[in-house]
Structure 1
């Protein structure tokens, strides 16, 4: 199959998240890099923003010798670039560009984009300018590199991720038409905005006009650059069929290829290492719970959890809390359930009273005040998660069968309570729940099953939709339960989550071990070695269209 496709000699990939761990795209790029590096070697080059100037970045290993001759020439062209390697498996080459100097030319750049592609930057605000100046700088960088080292005999692809890098793709298409361009939208800016503004996205998707909604929601500039890139690049892609529906309606352009998000399982411990880590994770979670709640929860407690960005509705945090409330009243539940909501919020230090208890060897039989939270919030009066607890009357009473703990910090090993990284706690769970309302792909449930933790998700997540296409029954007995979710079946979803947890709690150790194995088997189907072929197809389409343009 690969031999029949036209593949590039050089690949440039541009993203705000290159060496900059701020969201899900980082996972896409960093886990895929090793697979591409093995095939293209050092002709795979990532381009990112130099936002770590003056600070140590453990993800970036700088080199003074890589392309040193060209770097001096680029500096004379107004390009300040640091070159090195990304400290991830495969260690691909990375170029970080300083985009600050281009702010003084912002108006001229926007005028050029309007004249060439009708990109509307008049209504820009917030992060639009910063992203656009980086994107333009990245385009200039690739142009300079091409002029110095390459020629039209070289097959070159430039892939831009999200609206933040779309302007650079359009610049390259105009300035270096020999380079094939790919634009990947991971979530349409207007679709995310519709969902985030409490408007029904799915029932009325057929009736929405993207341009009209962008004007109504003050998203005109972001929507414009995204839409124009989708229509003008050599190959337009997205990450799931569910997002492709948005693209078709809101951007008026269907993706040429759907690039589903794979991952690598090289970070998942095996054998005795896994068993040991799981035991330590459960010990840590139960210890924190017992110190907070004044309980004596033991290892037969069913530990469940959710995690991700703090998008209360889009990530389904609201419906997860509702399901826990209903679960606590379910007479069929035959186990104590300990639920964690690991969602970073505007939080400060770990609670002193909790840390004091954790450092003691004592056992406690009285709960701490506000026993549902591990760290102090800066503005608790505005927090949606704790408000939901209060609204539903969830207090972690001693006789409650369901206990819930909100962990509002990044689990980076230095949080002051668990002092473990996210993955080192995830594998201690028995079950995870990600009932997303808006989720272009959904790495969190995929990561969960990679660690053998069965998961509940929805068919409004790209991952859930993909699982629906597999030859399984899509229920928890297969390792992944995919719930049908719409704009209006909130309570039905909450009830389904409650019922699934109740059923899962009644499973024997042998049954849960079998389910865990099935979950891992589904995760294996999503490895990059299976999904990378979609990228090869996108390269082929882009190169063929660029050849026509030349």
Structure 2
């Protein structure tokens, strides 16, 4: 009888530039996935990344290093070699073990490392930007660590190393060349060339097969980045990406078909009571309404109960993120609402990051004066309330007394003067900050004349900074702001995955996406009736720009016609399917990639 061989245990290492270092979307991927990974792997899980003192101070807790484990011995060996290696917990849910490498401790060797990269892999790194030099230095430290770790492991466990993006993967070709005993997975979350070309080449997806990757990389000045990305994709045991859309880019630019698609998820926070997310929506909507009153009511008052808050957000990629088509759709929506005699008002927030000098002092001042008006009203309210109670208790008739007689002349005059100084004939500002220079959003708003005119049914607030809880205009963090809105609008042209619409779903907020975003494409694959669940998908694959803008405008117009009951029902439905994207359900894709990498390595 054949003896069954016991399966060897595995050890998983995940490597990312954004480990304990928030730059963009990959930070969200790694951070939100950690609890699910720790649940599966326990102590056989480790994260690697760069050490930056400022971010580490907030998110990293050092632990003592001992020589009783392969990881500890590898760290101690590197420290003996003169490299600064930090070991501890990442202070997020799950508290995973993490190793951070101080790039400065090897930076004087960068030119020598670059020479070896050219000799071994013919990747040109002459005259590259500082960031590329940093990734090369990090890559060498990771190579040394993994080589030492694999040696210390003595084949006791199958080591799987999962690299995210080219910035963490400059050492992957050397690991392959040196035959280091690790199985490798490489995930590209967005190809370098795809991001550049999509924003500059019309009908990018139609001509995807026609590009010469090296020629285009040289043209855009990203030869080193694209070469590292391609080399990592070619040398990894398993290549993965985040959507079917990006898989096509992998074939065109990286020269390899991905073995697996790894859709992104979130930690979906479930509420014990169904109505709780509705209560939070009302609470945070009230905070947004406070801003809207301060920003608009000094010139234009409208019914807040008939006002809808829409938003879009993300990095400033005007065409890729769909800001262009959103603005043009808003112009059409404004016209449709006027023609239909709609009683609704739409406030559209653009939340992105652009260079600015400061928050506009006039915007801050308006908000501050509104706060003073509120304080005056609260003082009058208390005074009237106390005196009304006394009058009612002592009165012999049942008539309501004249409330004006209960207000002191001081408060009456103070309130009148405060309101008078606040009111203005000036049109409400479109931009909340003083931008360093005019950009495409501003130019589009001037072209379409969506400038917060009194008769506009669609008003625009352009906030060129990400929203954090210390923001004096809203006093909300981003997640709270999302909950307070009615609809998220993300009709992206280039979006390998798309966390922004997923973040809406996780908070029970309906969303608009596109079939050129990985998220939108995935929704269309897994749900036929996705529209019933609060997800609208703009067709950007087969429609031209103007047709897609018209379709988006019609979606938004239809949304404005919903009743409050309709919107509550829709939010409940969105919230109820959010579990689909919880990491506990999506981790299985990663598990498959890691199993496949080990199997391929054994062959």
By the TM > 0.5 criterion, same fold? yes
TM-score normalised by length of structure 2: 0.84
Distance 1:7 1:342, change over 3 A: farther
Partner of 1:16: 17
For the pair 1:399 / 2:455, whether they are aligned, the reply is yes
**Alignment of 1:124 onto 2:179:** no
1:84–1:391: structure 2 CA closer, same or farther, 3 Å change rule?
Answer: same
Residues 268, 296 of structure 1: alpha-carbon distance in 2 compared, 3 angstrom cutoff = farther
Confirm whether residue 349 of structure 1 aligns to residue 358 of structure 2. Answer: yes
Aligned match of 1:92 = 96
1:79 and 2:83 aligned: yes
Give the 5 Å matches for 1:454-469.
454-469=510-525
Give the 3 Å change call, closer, same or farther, for CA 7–337 of structure 1 in structure 2.
farther
C-alpha distance in 2 between matches for 1:77 and 1:131? 20
CA distance in 1, matches of 2:526, 2:545: 25
Partner of 2:552 in structure 1? 497
Q: CA deviation at 1:473?
A: 3.1
Q: Which protein shows a greater Rg?
A: 2
SS in structure 1 of the partner of residue 320 of structure 2: coil
Task: Find the residue that maps to 2:526 and give its secondary structure.
Answer: coil
Q: Do 1:158 and 1:169's aligned partners in 2 also have CA atoms closer than 8 Å?
A: no
Query: 2: distance between equivalents of 1:286 and 1:388?
Result: 26
Distance 1:135 1:269 in 2: 45
Number of the residue aligned with 1:532: 587
Which residue number in structure 2 is paired with residue 376 of structure 1?
434
Alignment check: 8 A CA contact 2:87 2:99 kept: yes
Match of 2:53 in 1: 52
Query: Are 1:112 and 2:116 counterparts?
Result: yes
How many Å apart are 1:111 and its aligned residue?
A: 3.2
For residues 378-527 of structure 1, what are the structure 2 equivalents within 5 Å? Answer: 379-381=436-438, 383-475=439-531, 477-486=532-541, 489-527=544-582
Query: How far apart are the structure 1 equivalents of 2:595 and 2:481?
Result: 41
- Relative to total residues, which structure has the larger helix share, 1 or 2? 2
Equivalent of residue 221 in structure 1, options 213, 218, 224: 224
Tell whether the 8 Å contact from 1:32 to 1:528 is kept in structure 2 after alignment: yes
SS of aligned partner of 2:253 = helix
SS in 2 for 1:497: helix
SS at match of 2:590: helix
> How far apart, in 1, do the equivalents of 2:143 and 2:74 lie?
16
| C-alpha distance in structure 1 between counterparts of 2:560 and 2:250, whole Å | 40
CA contact 1:239–1:259 (8 Å) conserved in 2:
yes
CA distance in 2, matches of 1:198, 1:287: 42
Supply the distance in 2 between the matched residues of 1:52 and 1:197 (Cα, whole angstroms).
37
Q: Which whole-Å CA distance do the structure 2 matches of 1:78 and 1:267 have between them?
A: 47
Structure-to-structure mapping, 1:319-358, within 5 angstroms: 319-330=325-336, 331-332=339-340, 333-358=342-367
Partner of 1:204, secondary structure, is: helix
Aligned in 2, Cα 1:222/1:487: closer, same or farther, shift over 3 Å? farther
Q: 1:452 to 1:488 in 2, by over 3 A?
A: same
Distance in 2 of aligned mates of 1:60 and 1:426: 28
Return the offset for 1:33: 0.7
Deviation at 1:220, TM superposition (A): 1.6
Distance 1:259 1:7 in 2: 25
Once the two structures are superposed, the pairs formed by residues 22-421 of structure 1 within 5 Å of their partners are 22-52=23-53, 57-65=57-65, 71-122=75-126, 124-148=128-152, 150-175=153-178, 177-266=180-269, 274-294=277-297, 295-297=300-302, 298-330=304-336, 331-332=339-340, 333-359=342-368, 360-362=371-373, 365-366=423-424, 371-377=429-435, 379-381=436-438, 383-421=439-477
SS in 2 for 1:12: strand
Contact map agreement 1:161 1:183 (CA 8 A) in 2? yes
1:275-320, Cα deviation, whole Å (9 max, x unpaired):
4432232122222122222233413311111111111111001111
Deviations 1:100-156 (A, max 9, x none): 2333322332333334334333463342111121122122222233334x1213110
Q: CA RMSD of the aligned region, Å?
A: 2.4
Q: Is the 8 A contact 1:411 1:422 kept in 2?
A: yes
Aligned residues: 540
Provide structure 2 residue ranges, at least 5 long, that are not aligned to the other structure: 374-418
Provide the rounded CA distance (Å) in 2 between the counterparts of 1:7 and 1:200: 49
TM-score normalised by length of structure 1: 0.92
| Conservation of the 8 A alpha-carbon contact between 2:213 and 2:253 | yes
| Aligned 8 A contact 1:282 1:299 in 2 | no
CA 1:160–1:277 in 2, change beyond 3 Å: closer, same or farther? same
| Superposed CA offset, 1:350-372 (max 9, x none) | 33332233233436553656611
CA distance in 2 between partners of 1:155 and 1:83 (Å): 22
Aligned-residue offset at 1:41: 0.8
Q: Distance in 1 between matches of 2:41 and 2:25?
A: 24
Query: Could you tell which deviates more after superposition, 318-327 or 266-275?
Result: 266-275
- 2: CA distance, partners of 1:166 / 1:500: 42
State the SS of the aligned residue for 1:324: helix
Question: Which shifted more, 465-474 or 10-19?
Answer: 465-474
Cα distance, 1:6 vs structure 2: 7.4
Structure 1 residue 19, shift from structure 2 partner: 0.7
